[in-house]
């Protein structure tokens, strides 16, 4: 079985993080999926910086990189530093990578990633539709009592909560 076929939607979703209020994927995760070294991916991006404006890709600050690596990977030892700051790619940046990394595997992985992003957008739109319907229902009847309005406010809060950063699970995980 090819490496691309073994990359599941769940695996891709687990590599999407919320940084600076944007859903991004990290250079090291993308390089692994594309079957290239992180160094090679970063070099390709640097040779084509005009294709990666700030809303497509940004470099993490030293503090962000340290916080990110501590919370998502292995806790670094005291005094240990990150040698190179990682790149974070937004959905558009990931799409642009397919024009920079022209391998068949990169294209196939990009298709899978774009499908995951599309599913995430569909879920977000579904939540917005539910919120709009609730607001319509709430305003259409004057007979709602105080308790029902409280329930509506709690449901709205649940729907409107921002997406939290995903954290990797620690420990052994069975896939069956």
Q: What is the pTM of this model?
A: 0.61
What pLDDT digit, counting tens, does each position of 17-56 carry? Answer: 989 988 899 999 999 988 889 999 999 999 999 999 999 9
Alpha helices in 73-161 (DSSP H): 91-100, 104-140, 146-160
Query: Which residues does 128 contact at the CB level (< 8 Å), separation at least 6?
Result: none
What pLDDT digit, counting tens, does each position of 118-144 carry? Answer: 887 777 777 777 777 777 766 665 555
Using CA atoms, how far apart are residues 76 and 22, in angstroms rounded to an integer?
25
Categorize the per-residue pLDDT at 79 as very low, low, confident or very high, splitting at 50, 70 and 90.
Answer: very low
> Which structural domains are found in the chain, ordered by start?
9-120 (3.10.260)
Most confident of 76-90, 114-128, 154-168: 114-128
DSSP state of 142: T
Nearest to 78, CA basis, from 68, 86, 66: 66
Using CA atoms, how far apart are residues 84 and 107, in angstroms rounded to an integer?
26
Nearest to 168, CA basis, from 28, 74, 86, 94: 74
């Amino acid at each position: 079985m090819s490496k691309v076929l073994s990359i599941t939607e769940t695996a891709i979703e687990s590599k999407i993080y919320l940084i600076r209020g944007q859903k991004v994927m990290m250079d090291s995760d993308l390089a692994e999926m594309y079957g290239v070294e992180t160094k090679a991916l970063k070099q390709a991006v640097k040779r084509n910086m005009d294709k990666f404006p700030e809303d497509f890709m940004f470099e993490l600050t030293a503090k962000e990189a340290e916080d990110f690596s501590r919370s998502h990977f292995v806790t670094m030892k005291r005094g240990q530093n990150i040698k190179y700051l990682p790149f974070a790619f937004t959905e558009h940046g990931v799409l642009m990578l397919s024009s920079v990394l022209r391998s068949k595997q990169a294209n196939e992985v990009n298709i899978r990633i774009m499908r995951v992003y599309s599913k995430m957008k569909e879920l977000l739109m579904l939540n917005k539709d539910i919120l709009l319907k609730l607001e319509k229902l709430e305003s259409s009847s004057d007979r709602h009592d105080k308790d029902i309005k409280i329930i509506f406010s709690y449901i709205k809060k649940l729907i409107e909560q921002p997406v939290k950063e995903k954290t990797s699970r620690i420990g052994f995980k069975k896939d069956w």
